[in-house]
Structure 1
Amino acid sequence: MITSKLIMEEQPKFLADLAKIIAIPSVRSEAKSHAPFGLGPRQVLSEVVQLARQYDFKYEVVNDAMAYVQWGDDNDNYFGIVGHLDVVGAGDNWTSDPFTLRQRGDYLYARGILDNKGPSIACLYALKILKDQGYLPKKTIRIIFGSDEESGSNDIPLYLAKEKAPQFGFTPDCKFPVVYGERGIVNYEIFTPINEDQVSEITGDQAPDHVPDELKIMINQESYVAKGKRSPTNAPELGVNAITVLTQQILAQDLVHGELKDYFTWLDQALRDKHYGEGLGLEFSDPASGRLIVTPYFLQKSDAGWTLKIAMRYPVTYTESQVTEQLKKAVFSGSQIKIIRSMPSVMHDPNSPEIQILSQVYEDLTKLDGTPVTTTGATYARSMPNIVAFGPSFPGQKGIAHKEDEWMKIDDLMLNLTIYLNAIFKLAIEGGE
């Protein structure tokens, strides 16, 4: 019997091995030979197979894109756990080195501690503990580590070109309880041709993964700064968007005129603090997945006009075409719309035996409601067949990833390890046949 005491005794070794993975800045960069997503993402795969070798598991790096650690001999029929070891850029304003695992009080800090190195290595360590205790799997277990989840999951096709997909499994890269459905995601580029010379180029960190928190702009030779608060694009209500702070500031001070003023007025009325589509006539919702979410994440001026990029997460019972058709009616006059990212929703049967087992494990260990849920996020479950999301964040924990001082409570990380250990035991050791 594996007790909580035994798991806690393993904590120092687990954190030491996790620190080796954290130390590699596995941010996507220029492709190199045998490193399709850059040297950092490829190096972290090499490091994780070093751990597999130490733990005496089978392992392989597939097409330099994903690595797997395997317990069992059946390469075609296996239970899979699919995590990722790539991370988003650290950014500024950290209080410690983002690639050094630090403990302060009851918390761990590092880039990737939550998203997704900590939970992924917790799954590997759960496998190690089970093996060390003398258990044998009835079903082959394979933990698959990705290196491009944060930049579009282009590692999955490279893996599936050589390997079969899991028969069932989970990704520890979302939230608890088990997630049976993920909303559709569509990003739009909206170009509006406005010829004017009142404003210069906007500078600041604008990327699809987060709400921009500081932008600078020159208007009629004067410099202006708009400061907000960063949050993930799937939780804009937790942040303050510097784009809409900027539009509000420009209008309040009457800094621009003519058609450009009309454009900023539209931006302000359509998007400021209207996270659920109400400014665009997109108040779509359903009982299973809640309300549509809108996040502007990029605004830029060129000689030809203005480019706005927005991310939408729409409920599972709606379609991308419904969202697009309504957006066309709501944009500023003369604007052109282009879809630049498209991820249809994914749904699994919440009553399937495997999902029910995951729910029961979660309930037994946390005493919380394990009813399966949906998410606004995007995980490997959209790209890898037969995968659902399961953890690592607990109810009430939101908006931690992709920010400075990314954190995870030590107790929560160890509870993750315990939940994943028991899920592996129930699905592949006790009931794997």
Structure 2
Amino acid sequence: MDWKKLYDNVDQWAADHRQEFIDDISEVCRIRSVSIMNKQDPEKPFGAACRQMLDKALEMSSRYGFETRNYDNFCGSAVYGSNPDNDSIGIFSHMDIVPEGEGWTHDPFDPILSEDGKYLFARGTADNKSCGIMAMYAMRYLKEHDIKLKNNVMLVFGMNEEIGMNDIPEFLAREKCPKFSLVPDAKYPITYAEKGITKSVLKSPKMTGNLKDMWSGLAVNAGSPIAWAVLEGVSREDAEKALKKFEKTTVEAVDGGVKITVEKDENKVIRDPIGTWTATARLCKVLAGSGLLTGNGQEVLNWMAEISDDYRGEKIGISCNDEPNGPLRCSFNMIRMEEGRICFYPDIRYPSLADQNKVLSGIKAAWAASPMELESFSNLDPFYISLDNPFAQKLIEVARDALEQPDIEPLKDGGTYARRLPNAVPYGATVPGRVRLFGFAKGGAHQADEYCDIPNLLLNMRVYVRALIELDQML
């Protein structure tokens, strides 16, 4: 096939459908589809908003002439093709989001296009709704140009990626697994390794002293710019005197006590806070070092302060730096107070080829030795595909050629559906060289003022159209 001619044709088609594309992304980004575990309700197992999101995605797919399938409201798919054995190439995009958080300059669920038409701002634009719409448009191109493939193309709309990927086992229990799948939730040319992910829920004993409330983190995997705690029976004057040695810390009087608010340090590298304090770390250290705590709160906060900046797991004995994507990384983003108990949610990511049993047993041993109780523990296995794999090699070739970036190198980080699927790889949709309008402070996934890059998404269509054709020939 003349790939240059294909690129030109796809580019022209994408340009002709540009406004429609923007409108469709905007439509799905108006839905606040934060996933929750609600399996007791079969009509909305991941909450009412995710059910609304699923219905919208399937309605849009049907509007463009695709067969749609609803897997008992856990997720759904749009299918192009009529393979008699239901053999398919999969594309897995998640339509759930993390909470919006604070710091937006506009309504996060009222999408706004920049004056130059290049950037669309809203929660979910970068992660991951625009990528699902992009994949749908690549399928539309195949369909509208009558490009028939041996295998179906199945675009799966996930609804639980951000809080555990519990939708994928439900999908696999109800649908024939695609022969090979692409996950547009990473960066080109390909991601060949993702760290394993453990999530823990630790709960303190019921507080016996003056710590009455505590908050940090937008989600387990999303930090916040601030964190705060409420202490009862403490005056503003006494609190300010005790806390004057701490930076980025403010005190305000509230009914019966004080509210202490701290700010994070701005990370130089957003995924590696070494040398800086997150809001969680600062709050724990401020409280532990304040001299204001009474009752059993001091013991618990001393321990939390000790580990909350242990980004490499050295203090709890699990540090490792195995290839290809070490080192291990600990994130302590989220704290909540429930029924008088501190709830702490560590998120630990370990290298793809690390000794998994050693890491997991080390984490559990550390929690057992803490002053908190382990309420739940989950693990998502790491992902790895050899760069010698012929599918990986072909996809790298396609991305480099279609993007006209022959020197882009494979990546080795992230956390996508690929780890829960057989024969899958993270593939785009971020184009190397993406403009960061605000540096690393905001604008990205899980951040305030999140945005997607419209020209790059349109460029994605040529990558995905060719990749689907090439994969179909290989399968």
TM over 0.5: yes
Give, in whole Å, the separation in 2 of the partners of 1:303 and 1:267.
19
Tell whether 2:61 aligns with 1:25.
no
Which residue is equivalent to 1:419?
463
Give, in whole Å, the separation in 2 of the partners of 1:336 and 1:38.
28
Say which of 418, 424, 441 aligns to 1:387. 424
Which residue is equivalent to 2:170?
158
CA RMSD of aligned residues (A): 3.1
Tell whether 2:321 aligns with 1:285.
yes
DSSP 3-state at the match of 1:225: strand
Distance 1:50 1:214, change over 3 A: same
Distance 1:388 1:408, change over 3 A: same
Once the two structures are superposed, what CA deviation does each residue of 1:100-129 show, in whole Å capped at 9, x if it has no partner? 321114321111111111011101101112
For residue 184 of structure 1, report the CA deviation from its aligned partner: 0.9
DSSP 3-state at the match of 1:164: coil
Which residue is equivalent to 2:17?
10
Tell whether 2:126 aligns with 1:114.
yes
Identity of aligned residues (%): 26
Q: More displaced, 178-187 or 294-303?
A: 294-303
- Asked if structure 1 preserves the Cα contact closer than 8 Å seen for 2:262 and 2:283, the reply is yes
Give, in whole Å, the separation in 1 of the partners of 2:55 and 2:308.
44
Give, in whole Å, the separation in 2 of the partners of 1:195 and 1:45.
41
Distance 1:402 1:199, change over 3 A: same
Tell whether 2:93 aligns with 1:83.
yes
Distance 1:205 1:329, change over 3 A: closer
- Asked if structure 2 preserves the Cα contact closer than 8 Å seen for 1:211 and 1:229, the reply is no
For residue 288 of structure 1, report the CA deviation from its aligned partner: 0.5
For residue 258 of structure 1, report the CA deviation from its aligned partner: 9.2
Once the two structures are superposed, what CA deviation does each residue of 1:260-316 show, in whole Å capped at 9, x if it has no partner? 5565444334332x4222333333112301210011123456788755331100011
- Asked if structure 2 preserves the Cα contact closer than 8 Å seen for 1:271 and 1:279, the reply is no
Once the two structures are superposed, what CA deviation does each residue of 1:25-63 show, in whole Å capped at 9, x if it has no partner? 322355655332223222223322333333222222222
Give, in whole Å, the separation in 1 of the partners of 2:336 and 2:32.
29
Tell whether 2:353 aligns with 1:353.
no
Tell whether 2:68 aligns with 1:68.
no
DSSP 3-state at the match of 2:126: coil
Once the two structures are superposed, what CA deviation does each residue of 1:301-354 show, in whole Å capped at 9, x if it has no partner? 678875533110001122443124434665666555455221121222332221
- Asked if structure 2 preserves the Cα contact closer than 8 Å seen for 1:119 and 1:417, the reply is no
Tell whether 2:145 aligns with 1:133.
yes
- Asked if structure 1 preserves the Cα contact closer than 8 Å seen for 2:312 and 2:319, the reply is yes
For residue 16 of structure 1, report the CA deviation from its aligned partner: 1.9
Give, in whole Å, the separation in 1 of the partners of 2:28 and 2:340.
45
Which residue is equivalent to 1:373?
411
Distance 1:321 1:193, change over 3 A: farther
State how 1:10-409 maps to structure 2 within 5 Å. Answer: 10-28=17-35, 32=41, 34-74=43-83, 75-104=85-114, 105=116, 106-191=118-203, 196-205=208-217, 207-219=219-231, 221-222=233-234, 223=258, 224-228=260-264, 235=271, 237=273, 240-251=277-288, 253-256=290-293, 261=298, 263-272=300-309, 274-299=310-335, 307-327=343-363, 334-337=371-374, 339-366=376-403, 367-375=405-413, 377-395=414-432, 400-409=444-453
Whichever residue aligns with residue 453 of structure 2, its letter is K
Once the two structures are superposed, what CA deviation does each residue of 1:63-100 show, in whole Å capped at 9, x if it has no partner? 22222222211253111111122222223332222223
Give, in whole Å, the separation in 2 of the partners of 1:245 and 1:320.
30
Distance 1:312 1:138, change over 3 A: same
Which sections of structure 1, spanning at least 5 residues, go unmatched? Answer: none
Which sections of structure 2, spanning at least 5 residues, go unmatched? Answer: 235-257, 435-439
DSSP 3-state at the match of 2:311: coil
DSSP 3-state at the match of 2:77: strand
Distance 1:420 1:237, change over 3 A: farther
For residue 140 of structure 1, report the CA deviation from its aligned partner: 1.9
Give, in whole Å, the separation in 1 of the partners of 2:340 and 2:54.
44
Whichever residue aligns with residue 146 of structure 1, its letter is G
Give, in whole Å, the separation in 1 of the partners of 2:14 and 2:399.
17
Whichever residue aligns with residue 187 of structure 1, its letter is K
Distance 1:97 1:292, change over 3 A: same
- Asked if structure 1 preserves the Cα contact closer than 8 Å seen for 2:209 and 2:294, the reply is no
DSSP 3-state at the match of 1:100: coil
- Asked if structure 1 preserves the Cα contact closer than 8 Å seen for 2:181 and 2:424, the reply is yes
Distance 1:330 1:62, change over 3 A: closer
Give, in whole Å, the separation in 2 of the partners of 1:267 and 1:66.
37
Give, in whole Å, the separation in 1 of the partners of 2:35 and 2:338.
27
- Asked if structure 2 preserves the Cα contact closer than 8 Å seen for 1:178 and 1:370, the reply is no
For residue 220 of structure 1, report the CA deviation from its aligned partner: 5.5
Distance 1:205 1:190, change over 3 A: closer
Give, in whole Å, the separation in 2 of the partners of 1:201 and 1:299.
10
- Asked if structure 2 preserves the Cα contact closer than 8 Å seen for 1:211 and 1:240, the reply is no
- Asked if structure 1 preserves the Cα contact closer than 8 Å seen for 2:209 and 2:293, the reply is no
